[in-house]
Amino acid sequence: MASSIVVTGSYVQDLTFMLPEFPTAGQTLIGEFKTGPGGKGSNQAVAAARTGVRTAFIGATGNDAFAQVAKDFHKGEGIDSRLAPQADQATGTAAILVNDRGENEIVVALGANNFLSPEDVPESLVAEAQILVSQLECNLEAAEHALKLARKHEVRTLLNPAPMRDDFPPSMLNSVDILVPNETEFAHLIRARFPEKHGSFEEASIQSLTSEQLHHLCRDFGVPTFIITLGGNGCFVSTEDRYFEIPSITGIEVVDTTGAGDAFVGGLSSGLVQFDGDIEKAVRYASVVAGLSVTKFGTAPAMPSQAEIEKEIQTQGLSFK
Ligand code: RIB
Protein backbone atom coordinates (compact mmCIF):
# COMPACT_ATOMS: atom_id res chain seq x y z
CA MET A 1 0.00 0.00 0.00
CA ALA A 2 1.30 3.49 -0.87
CA SER A 3 2.32 5.89 1.89
CA SER A 4 0.50 9.24 1.88
CA ILE A 5 3.40 10.88 3.71
CA VAL A 6 7.03 10.31 2.78
CA VAL A 7 9.66 11.80 5.07
CA THR A 8 13.24 11.92 3.90
CA GLY A 9 15.90 12.89 6.44
CA SER A 10 17.69 11.98 9.62
CA TYR A 11 17.65 9.14 12.07
CA VAL A 12 19.69 10.02 15.19
CA GLN A 13 20.11 8.18 18.48
CA ASP A 14 19.35 10.71 21.22
CA LEU A 15 21.65 10.66 24.25
CA THR A 16 19.83 12.88 26.70
CA PHE A 17 21.03 14.29 30.01
CA MET A 18 18.55 15.86 32.42
CA LEU A 19 19.80 18.42 34.90
CA PRO A 20 18.37 21.40 36.81
CA GLU A 21 20.30 24.06 34.84
CA PHE A 22 22.61 23.98 31.82
CA PRO A 23 26.33 23.89 32.77
CA THR A 24 28.50 26.93 32.12
CA ALA A 25 31.87 26.62 30.31
CA GLY A 26 34.27 24.59 32.45
CA GLN A 27 31.56 23.36 34.83
CA THR A 28 30.75 19.69 35.53
CA LEU A 29 27.25 18.86 36.73
CA ILE A 30 25.66 15.61 37.80
CA GLY A 31 22.49 14.73 35.92
CA GLU A 32 20.41 11.78 34.78
CA PHE A 33 20.67 9.97 31.45
CA LYS A 34 18.28 8.36 28.98
CA THR A 35 18.70 7.27 25.39
CA GLY A 36 16.06 6.80 22.72
CA PRO A 37 15.28 7.10 19.01
CA GLY A 38 15.43 10.63 17.60
CA GLY A 39 16.54 12.64 14.61
CA LYS A 40 14.34 15.33 13.13
CA GLY A 41 13.30 13.31 10.08
CA SER A 42 12.50 10.14 11.97
CA ASN A 43 10.69 12.09 14.72
CA GLN A 44 8.50 13.75 12.07
CA ALA A 45 7.71 10.37 10.50
CA VAL A 46 6.78 8.93 13.91
CA ALA A 47 4.55 11.93 14.72
CA ALA A 48 2.76 11.49 11.38
CA ALA A 49 2.44 7.69 11.61
CA ARG A 50 0.97 7.85 15.13
CA THR A 51 -1.93 9.93 13.78
CA GLY A 52 -2.94 6.91 11.71
CA VAL A 53 -1.78 8.16 8.28
CA ARG A 54 0.40 5.71 6.36
CA THR A 55 3.97 7.06 6.45
CA ALA A 56 7.31 6.11 4.92
CA PHE A 57 10.78 7.20 6.04
CA ILE A 58 13.91 7.39 3.88
CA GLY A 59 17.18 7.75 5.79
CA ALA A 60 20.59 6.26 6.47
CA THR A 61 22.13 4.46 9.43
CA GLY A 62 25.57 3.04 10.18
CA ASN A 63 26.63 -0.50 10.92
CA ASP A 64 26.18 -0.47 14.69
CA ALA A 65 23.77 -1.21 17.52
CA PHE A 66 21.91 2.10 17.07
CA ALA A 67 20.99 1.07 13.49
CA GLN A 68 19.16 -1.94 14.91
CA VAL A 69 17.34 0.31 17.40
CA ALA A 70 16.15 2.40 14.43
CA LYS A 71 14.94 -0.64 12.45
CA ASP A 72 13.10 -2.17 15.41
CA PHE A 73 11.55 1.15 16.41
CA HIS A 74 10.25 1.94 12.92
CA LYS A 75 8.84 -1.58 12.61
CA GLY A 76 6.98 -1.18 15.88
CA GLU A 77 5.57 2.16 14.68
CA GLY A 78 4.30 0.65 11.40
CA ILE A 79 6.53 2.98 9.34
CA ASP A 80 7.61 1.88 5.86
CA SER A 81 11.27 2.39 6.75
CA ARG A 82 13.91 2.61 4.02
CA LEU A 83 17.20 2.88 5.89
CA ALA A 84 20.24 2.88 3.59
CA PRO A 85 23.10 1.08 5.39
CA GLN A 86 26.39 3.01 5.46
CA ALA A 87 28.93 0.33 6.39
CA ASP A 88 31.80 2.65 7.32
CA GLN A 89 29.80 5.25 9.19
CA ALA A 90 28.34 5.55 12.68
CA THR A 91 24.60 6.05 13.05
CA GLY A 92 23.86 9.70 13.85
CA THR A 93 23.93 10.65 17.52
CA ALA A 94 22.80 13.71 19.47
CA ALA A 95 23.92 14.97 22.86
CA ILE A 96 20.87 16.67 24.37
CA LEU A 97 20.66 18.60 27.62
CA VAL A 98 17.22 19.20 29.13
CA ASN A 99 16.84 21.52 32.12
CA ASP A 100 14.12 21.69 34.79
CA ARG A 101 12.07 24.10 32.66
CA GLY A 102 11.95 21.59 29.79
CA GLU A 103 14.32 23.70 27.65
CA ASN A 104 17.01 21.98 25.60
CA GLU A 105 20.43 22.35 24.05
CA ILE A 106 21.47 19.93 21.28
CA VAL A 107 24.64 18.92 19.44
CA VAL A 108 24.17 16.48 16.55
CA ALA A 109 26.85 14.30 14.93
CA LEU A 110 25.24 13.49 11.57
CA GLY A 111 27.36 10.38 10.84
CA ALA A 112 25.56 8.15 8.31
CA ASN A 113 22.92 10.84 7.66
CA ASN A 114 25.63 12.81 5.83
CA PHE A 115 25.96 9.95 3.36
CA LEU A 116 22.34 9.52 2.37
CA SER A 117 22.53 9.70 -1.39
CA PRO A 118 20.04 10.79 -4.07
CA GLU A 119 20.03 7.14 -5.29
CA ASP A 120 18.66 6.09 -1.90
CA VAL A 121 15.42 7.98 -2.59
CA PRO A 122 13.00 5.60 -4.37
CA GLU A 123 11.18 7.61 -7.05
CA SER A 124 8.09 5.36 -7.04
CA LEU A 125 7.63 5.85 -3.27
CA VAL A 126 7.74 9.64 -3.67
CA ALA A 127 5.52 9.59 -6.77
CA GLU A 128 2.71 7.81 -4.89
CA ALA A 129 2.74 10.13 -1.87
CA GLN A 130 0.50 13.11 -1.16
CA ILE A 131 3.21 15.00 0.68
CA LEU A 132 7.00 14.84 0.79
CA VAL A 133 8.69 16.17 3.92
CA SER A 134 12.35 17.04 4.35
CA GLN A 135 14.69 18.87 6.74
CA LEU A 136 18.40 19.80 6.68
CA GLU A 137 19.75 17.16 9.06
CA CYS A 138 21.07 14.89 6.32
CA ASN A 139 22.96 15.06 3.04
CA LEU A 140 21.58 18.19 1.39
CA GLU A 141 21.91 16.82 -2.16
CA ALA A 142 19.68 13.89 -1.23
CA ALA A 143 17.19 16.22 0.47
CA GLU A 144 17.02 18.53 -2.56
CA HIS A 145 16.75 15.55 -4.91
CA ALA A 146 13.75 14.23 -2.96
CA LEU A 147 12.05 17.64 -3.15
CA LYS A 148 12.67 17.83 -6.89
CA LEU A 149 11.33 14.30 -7.44
CA ALA A 150 8.19 15.26 -5.55
CA ARG A 151 7.77 18.36 -7.72
CA LYS A 152 8.22 16.25 -10.83
CA HIS A 153 5.31 14.05 -9.72
CA GLU A 154 3.16 16.98 -8.48
CA VAL A 155 3.46 15.83 -4.88
CA ARG A 156 3.18 18.63 -2.29
CA THR A 157 6.53 19.47 -0.67
CA LEU A 158 7.22 20.62 2.89
CA LEU A 159 10.66 21.74 4.06
CA ASN A 160 11.54 22.25 7.71
CA PRO A 161 14.87 24.13 7.38
CA ALA A 162 16.30 22.62 10.57
CA PRO A 163 18.95 22.70 11.69
CA MET A 164 19.75 25.80 9.62
CA ARG A 165 23.19 25.46 8.05
CA ASP A 166 25.58 27.88 6.38
CA ASP A 167 25.75 25.55 3.36
CA PHE A 168 21.96 25.66 2.85
CA PRO A 169 21.50 26.00 -0.92
CA PRO A 170 18.93 28.76 -1.67
CA SER A 171 17.97 26.78 -4.81
CA MET A 172 16.25 24.29 -2.53
CA LEU A 173 13.47 26.79 -1.91
CA ASN A 174 12.50 26.59 -5.60
CA SER A 175 11.07 23.11 -4.95
CA VAL A 176 9.21 23.97 -1.73
CA ASP A 177 5.44 24.46 -1.37
CA ILE A 178 5.36 24.85 2.41
CA LEU A 179 8.30 26.17 4.42
CA VAL A 180 8.23 25.67 8.21
CA PRO A 181 11.08 27.53 9.96
CA ASN A 182 11.23 28.41 13.64
CA GLU A 183 12.15 31.99 14.62
CA THR A 184 15.93 31.37 14.53
CA GLU A 185 15.76 29.68 11.14
CA PHE A 186 13.50 32.40 9.78
CA ALA A 187 15.94 35.13 10.90
CA HIS A 188 18.79 33.24 9.19
CA LEU A 189 16.77 32.94 5.97
CA ILE A 190 16.02 36.66 6.01
CA ARG A 191 19.68 37.64 6.55
CA ALA A 192 20.86 35.26 3.81
CA ARG A 193 18.24 36.36 1.29
CA PHE A 194 18.36 40.12 1.91
CA PRO A 195 21.89 40.79 3.26
CA GLU A 196 21.85 44.48 2.37
CA LYS A 197 18.40 45.38 3.63
CA HIS A 198 18.11 42.91 6.54
CA GLY A 199 21.73 41.89 7.29
CA SER A 200 21.25 42.35 11.05
CA PHE A 201 17.80 40.71 11.29
CA GLU A 202 17.60 38.69 14.52
CA GLU A 203 15.06 36.37 16.06
CA ALA A 204 13.86 39.23 18.27
CA SER A 205 13.34 41.44 15.21
CA ILE A 206 10.23 39.38 14.40
CA GLN A 207 8.46 40.80 17.46
CA SER A 208 8.96 44.36 16.23
CA LEU A 209 7.15 43.65 12.94
CA THR A 210 3.42 43.96 12.37
CA SER A 211 1.72 40.82 11.02
CA GLU A 212 1.36 42.57 7.67
CA GLN A 213 5.10 43.38 7.52
CA LEU A 214 5.94 39.78 8.41
CA HIS A 215 3.59 38.56 5.70
CA HIS A 216 5.30 40.81 3.11
CA LEU A 217 8.73 39.50 4.13
CA CYS A 218 7.49 35.93 3.66
CA ARG A 219 5.99 36.81 0.27
CA ASP A 220 9.38 38.07 -0.95
CA PHE A 221 10.72 34.48 -0.91
CA GLY A 222 8.34 33.20 -3.57
CA VAL A 223 7.45 30.12 -1.48
CA PRO A 224 3.65 29.60 -1.62
CA THR A 225 3.12 28.92 2.10
CA PHE A 226 5.25 29.98 5.06
CA ILE A 227 4.56 28.77 8.60
CA ILE A 228 6.81 30.33 11.24
CA THR A 229 6.66 28.39 14.50
CA LEU A 230 6.92 30.64 17.56
CA GLY A 231 7.33 28.13 20.41
CA GLY A 232 4.74 28.69 23.13
CA ASN A 233 3.37 31.65 21.16
CA GLY A 234 1.88 29.49 18.43
CA CYS A 235 2.67 30.14 14.79
CA PHE A 236 2.32 32.67 11.99
CA VAL A 237 0.99 31.53 8.61
CA SER A 238 1.50 33.41 5.36
CA THR A 239 -0.09 32.08 2.18
CA GLU A 240 -0.35 33.65 -1.27
CA ASP A 241 -3.67 35.31 -0.44
CA ARG A 242 -3.81 35.77 3.35
CA TYR A 243 -2.01 35.61 6.68
CA PHE A 244 -3.15 34.50 10.13
CA GLU A 245 -1.91 33.34 13.51
CA ILE A 246 -2.76 30.14 15.36
CA PRO A 247 -2.12 30.04 19.13
CA SER A 248 -0.53 27.11 20.94
CA ILE A 249 -2.88 24.94 22.96
CA THR A 250 -3.21 25.96 26.60
CA GLY A 251 -3.44 24.18 29.97
CA ILE A 252 -0.62 21.71 29.38
CA GLU A 253 2.31 20.90 31.65
CA VAL A 254 5.67 21.30 29.87
CA VAL A 255 8.10 18.46 30.63
CA ASP A 256 10.46 18.49 27.64
CA THR A 257 10.26 20.71 24.55
CA THR A 258 12.80 18.65 22.55
CA GLY A 259 11.21 17.52 19.29
CA ALA A 260 8.17 19.83 19.54
CA GLY A 261 9.02 21.29 16.12
CA ASP A 262 9.16 17.77 14.70
CA ALA A 263 5.79 16.94 16.26
CA PHE A 264 4.39 20.08 14.60
CA VAL A 265 5.78 19.09 11.16
CA GLY A 266 4.53 15.49 11.47
CA GLY A 267 1.11 16.69 12.66
CA LEU A 268 0.95 19.28 9.88
CA SER A 269 1.68 16.67 7.20
CA SER A 270 -0.98 14.41 8.64
CA GLY A 271 -3.45 17.30 8.87
CA LEU A 272 -2.88 18.18 5.22
CA VAL A 273 -3.71 14.60 4.25
CA GLN A 274 -6.68 14.28 6.63
CA PHE A 275 -8.22 17.68 5.81
CA ASP A 276 -7.66 17.55 2.08
CA GLY A 277 -4.99 20.25 1.98
CA ASP A 278 -6.88 22.75 4.21
CA ILE A 279 -3.92 24.68 5.64
CA GLU A 280 -5.76 26.31 8.55
CA LYS A 281 -7.19 23.03 9.84
CA ALA A 282 -3.84 21.30 9.31
CA VAL A 283 -2.00 23.99 11.33
CA ARG A 284 -4.55 23.78 14.18
CA TYR A 285 -4.15 20.01 14.22
CA ALA A 286 -0.34 20.34 14.19
CA SER A 287 -0.55 22.68 17.21
CA VAL A 288 -2.40 20.00 19.18
CA VAL A 289 0.19 17.35 18.22
CA ALA A 290 3.09 19.67 19.14
CA GLY A 291 1.42 20.75 22.40
CA LEU A 292 0.92 17.16 23.51
CA SER A 293 4.50 16.18 22.61
CA VAL A 294 5.99 18.54 25.20
CA THR A 295 4.01 16.93 28.04
CA LYS A 296 6.21 13.82 27.87
CA PHE A 297 9.94 13.27 28.08
CA GLY A 298 11.91 12.45 24.90
CA THR A 299 11.46 13.06 21.20
CA ALA A 300 9.99 10.26 19.04
CA PRO A 301 8.66 8.32 22.07
CA ALA A 302 6.82 11.49 23.19
CA MET A 303 4.76 11.81 19.99
CA PRO A 304 1.04 11.50 20.85
CA SER A 305 -1.23 8.68 19.68
CA GLN A 306 -4.36 9.22 17.59
CA ALA A 307 -6.50 8.60 20.70
CA GLU A 308 -4.57 11.18 22.75
CA ILE A 309 -4.92 13.75 19.97
CA GLU A 310 -8.67 13.18 19.64
CA LYS A 311 -9.12 13.52 23.42
CA GLU A 312 -7.10 16.76 23.48
CA ILE A 313 -9.08 18.18 20.55
CA GLN A 314 -12.22 17.74 22.67
CA THR A 315 -10.57 19.17 25.79
CA GLN A 316 -9.48 22.25 23.83
CA GLY A 317 -13.00 22.63 22.37
CA LEU A 318 -11.68 22.51 18.80
CA SER A 319 -13.62 21.31 15.77
CA PHE A 320 -12.26 20.08 12.45
CA LYS A 321 -15.63 19.65 10.70
O1 RIB B 1 14.39 18.11 16.90
C2 RIB B 1 14.87 17.27 17.89
C3 RIB B 1 15.90 16.33 17.33
O4 RIB B 1 17.00 17.08 16.91
C5 RIB B 1 16.43 15.34 18.33
O6 RIB B 1 15.74 14.12 18.30
C7 RIB B 1 17.89 15.20 17.97
O8 RIB B 1 18.17 13.96 17.43
C9 RIB B 1 18.17 16.30 16.97
O10 RIB B 1 18.37 15.78 15.75
What Å distances lie between residue 148 and 8, 123, 155, 189, 277, CA to CA? 12, 10, 10, 20, 20
Substitution site in 13, 40, 138 for ligand 1 pocket (most atoms within 8 Å of beta carbon): 40
Tell me what pLDDT residue 217 has: 95
For the chain, the average pLDDT equals 97
- Find the 244 Cα to ligand 1 centroid distance in Å: 28
74-82: long-range contacts (C-beta < 8 A, 24 or more apart)? Answer: 74/42, 74/45, 77/45, 77/46, 77/49, 77/50, 78/49, 79/45, 79/46, 79/49, 79/55, 80/3, 80/54, 80/55, 80/56, 80/125, 81/56, 81/57, 82/56, 82/57, 82/58, 82/120, 82/122, 82/125
Q: What is the mean pLDDT of residues 284-293?
A: 98
Ligand 1, residue 43: give the atom nearest the CA.
Answer: 6
Judge whether residue 237 has pLDDT over 90. Answer: yes
Give the model confidence (pLDDT) of 30-48 as tens digits. Answer: 999 999 999 999 999 999 9
pLDDT-derived band of residue 313, with 50, 70 and 90 as boundaries?
very high
Tell me what pLDDT residue 321 has: 83
Substitution site in 44, 104, 108, 182 for ligand 1 pocket (most atoms within 8 Å of beta carbon): 108
Residue nearest (by alpha carbon) to ligand 1 atom 8: 39
What is the CB < 6 Å shell around ligand 1?
Answer: 12, 14, 38-40, 43, 94, 106, 108, 137, 258-259, 261-262, 299
Q: What is the mean pLDDT of residues 284-292?
A: 98
Judge whether residue 250 has pLDDT over 90. Answer: yes
- Find the 74 Cα to ligand 1 centroid distance in Å: 16
Q: What is the mean pLDDT of residues 199-214?
A: 94
Residue nearest (by alpha carbon) to ligand 1 atom 2: 259
pLDDT-derived band of residue 1, with 50, 70 and 90 as boundaries?
confident
Ligand 1, residue 96: give the atom nearest the CA.
Answer: 7
Q: What is the mean pLDDT of residues 110-136?
A: 98
- Find the 233 Cα to ligand 1 centroid distance in Å: 21
pLDDT-derived band of residue 124, with 50, 70 and 90 as boundaries?
very high
Judge whether residue 311 has pLDDT over 90. Answer: yes
Give the model confidence (pLDDT) of 68-81 as tens digits. Answer: 999 999 999 999 99
Judge whether residue 126 has pLDDT over 90. Answer: yes
What's the CA gap between 67 and 92, in Å, rounded? 9
Residues with catalytic annotation?
A: 262
